[in-house]
Structure 1
Amino acid sequence: MDRVLPGSIILVGLLGLLVLMVLGWRSRARRQSALFLAAVPDGDTLGELRLAVTGLYVSTTTSGAPLDRVVLPGLGFRGRVTVSVFDAGVLIAVTGEPQVFIAADRLRSVGTSTWTIDRVVEQGGMVRLDWTLESAEETPAAQVESFVRIENPAQSSRLIEAVSTLMPIDGTTQPDQEGSLS
């Protein structure tokens, strides 16, 4: 009997925290409801496969707000990932999630990073893709950053190089990046 009351209080507190977490996630998804992902083109439209690497998808955050996670389908949860670079853009395929396609004209920059929401790694340990999400007409497009930790560090520089060749050189300034781009 001495343990029933404290155990019940702890159980109610844990259930309350779980409910608050679910409500917070749903609220974040509602705030980002004007944002959407472009449809993944079919194989013919993608063009030639330039590079495919595997690793861990870490997160996608709003540019300038590194703690603001984007929770769109395919971008909300961490997991194993295959990043494929095609002539038309980049395909991010997180295991168990819908594929995410980033058209070449949506890419802003690529480089390395040391930290994001809940992950800190060695200098240049993650590849960071800066890109622009689609949005409803009345909402400005969101600039986001996706972070991927590639299994083989030698593949990171190959991925950066492959993505860099997709981006048009238009003389605009690119977001600051940590580490070397080569």
Structure 2
Amino acid sequence: MIVVVVVGLIALLFWAWRRRTRRDSALRAPIGDVPGSATVIAEFPSLYVATTRHGQPLERLAISGLGFRSKADVRVTDVGVALDLTGQPTMLLDPARITAVAQSTVAIDRVVEPDGLVCLSWRTDDGTVVDSYLRPQDASARALADAIRGILSPSSTGPDA
């Protein structure tokens, strides 16, 4: 009986994830390497937590390459923010695509000390605004958020810009 319940739960989880990936299949992250001529301003070994609907930190999106928690190297450059997630192609967010950067405490199943996460709001290829949550490992969330703010124009750094 227990085996049947476990198999049923696994099947239900698989079905739910497949449904979510179909729902989010139109959302695409900008894939691309940082140009060799770019200046690296700061690097942050981090934990990538999740990408969610904008303003909905508990609604995970299944964007290709961003569906699962992962170690990440975050590079802030003069041409944008590069996210290198383990086993995934580099995602490059140019400053025009970033709508806001803030600090947060909660995302999906991750709760940390106050303002221990960085919430990076950006536009997918189709213009949908999403939030990606990062947890710096060797620096404060404030240091990462400030580094990203440094490459943004003043009009794009507001809470809902």
TM-score, normalised via structure 1 length = 0.80
> Shift in Å at residue 16 of structure 1?
1.2
| 2:134 pairs with 1:134 | no
Once the two structures are overlaid, the 10-residue window that deviates more, 93-102 or 57-66, is 93-102
C-alpha RMSD over aligned residues? 2.0
2:18 matched residue in structure 1: 26
Query: Which string of whole-angstrom CA distances, capped at 9 and with x for unpartnered residues, describes residues 52-91 of structure 1?
Result: 1102111110113222212122211112111111111111
Once the two structures are overlaid, the 10-residue window that deviates more, 89-98 or 36-45, is 36-45
2:31 matched residue in structure 1: 39
1:180 matched residue in structure 2: none
> Shift in Å at residue 170 of structure 1?
2.8
Contact 1:92–1:101 at 8 Å: present in 2 too?
Answer: yes
1:173–1:122 Cα change, 3 Å: closer
Secondary structure of 1:134's match?
Answer: coil
Structure 1: how far apart are the matches of 2:73 and 2:112?
20
Structure 2: how far apart are the matches of 1:43 and 1:171?
23
Structure 2: how far apart are the matches of 1:35 and 1:119?
23
Structure 2 segments unaligned to the other structure (5+ residues): none
Q: Which runs of 4+ in 1 moved over 6 A?
A: none
1:157–1:70 Cα change, 3 Å: same
Q: Give the counterpart letter for 2:128 in structure 1.
A: A
2:142 matched residue in structure 1: 157
Secondary structure of 2:36's match?
Answer: helix
| 2:46 pairs with 1:55 | yes
2:7 matched residue in structure 1: 15
> Shift in Å at residue 106 of structure 1?
0.7
> Shift in Å at residue 173 of structure 1?
4.6
> Shift in Å at residue 42 of structure 1?
4.9
Structure 1: how far apart are the matches of 2:36 and 2:139?
30
> Shift in Å at residue 110 of structure 1?
1.1
> Shift in Å at residue 98 of structure 1?
2.8
Structure 1 segments unaligned to the other structure (5+ residues): 1-8, 136-140, 177-182
Structure 1: how far apart are the matches of 2:152 and 2:95?
6
Aligned length: 161
Name the structure where helix makes up a greater proportion of residues: 1
- Percent of paired sites with the same residue: 34
Once the two structures are overlaid, the 10-residue window that deviates more, 34-43 or 14-23, is 34-43
In our comparison, the structure showing a higher alpha carbon Rg is: 1
Query: Which string of whole-angstrom CA distances, capped at 9 and with x for unpartnered residues, describes residues 94-149 of structure 1?
Result: 212332221210111112101111011111111111111112xxxxx221111111
1:111–1:170 Cα change, 3 Å: closer
1:61–1:107 Cα change, 3 Å: same
Contact 1:29–1:71 at 8 Å: present in 2 too?
Answer: yes
